Amino acid sequence: MVRVTVLGSGDAFGSGGRLHSAYMVESAGVTFLIDCGPTILQSLKSGQHDTGRIDFVLVSHLHGDHFGGIPFLFMEYIYERPRRRPLGVYGPLGTERRVHALFAALYEKNAQMPTPFPVRFEQLEPGTTRDIGGVRVSAFCVPHTPELVALGYRIEIDGRSILYSGDSAWTEDFIARSRGADLFICECSTYETRLDIHVAYPEIAARARDLGCKRLLLSHLGAEPLRHLSDITLECARDGMIVEL
């Protein structure tokens, strides 16, 4: 069995009091995070999850609400849950540099010292597939803000598959990539407003029947879709939600 826990289903602004983007994927042999927003420790501890079980983190893109929790994980593993085994951090171009810079900005003294556990950074290139601890991760570009590389992921684990949009405008590429997926976690930041960097609910609602996934879960919910929850017919994520695949 593969279990996906929604640790944070909110947008950058914490709309509706929701926590920042983070999803924990667990199987018999591995536990990892897809994105790691600044509220990661609150998310994990409020659900009584063992913070020490995390083997690696997949970062979709380098906006703060998606990777800003990594320094707090470092601090957790230095002081509260001492760690010696390696922690993997995988993401797009610039991930290692930006994580180091953020750690230094938040905890300058700690960032100047070696962590008591190895941190293994690896850059994931769009269009490539990587085996990470028995998890098959395929990265692809999604249309978000032009100043950075934003990735979506197709993840294969223990015979189950998860598609993750990250932050993205609607793209027809999701239709092909969702074929056969057990779960598609798709962002839905707006409702009335149409942007070229995020998905609006009417856009995905119009194409939902064409998706080839078994289950579609809308997340990264902004203020607009939260005001329209009674009008939304597609399933929406909520903080603490567990999906078993």
Residues belonging to the active site: 65
Alpha helices in the chain (DSSP H): 40-46, 64-67, 70-75, 95-106, 108-111, 173-177, 201-207, 223-227
Cα(77)–Cα(172) distance, integer angstroms? 40
Tell how strand 242-244 and strand 3-8 pair up: antiparallel
Q: Residue 191, Cβ neighbours under 10 Å: how many? A: 20
100: closest CA among 70, 124, 73, 125?
70
Query: In this structure, what is the dihedral angle of CA atoms 8, 14, 15, 20, given to the nearest 10 degrees?
Result: -20
41: closest CA among 70, 12, 18, 13?
70
Q: Give Cβ neighbours of residue 169 (< 8 Å, ≥ 6 apart).
A: 142, 143, 144, 195, 196, 197, 198, 199
- Hey, what amino acid is at 126? P
The neighbouring-strand residues paired with 139 are 153
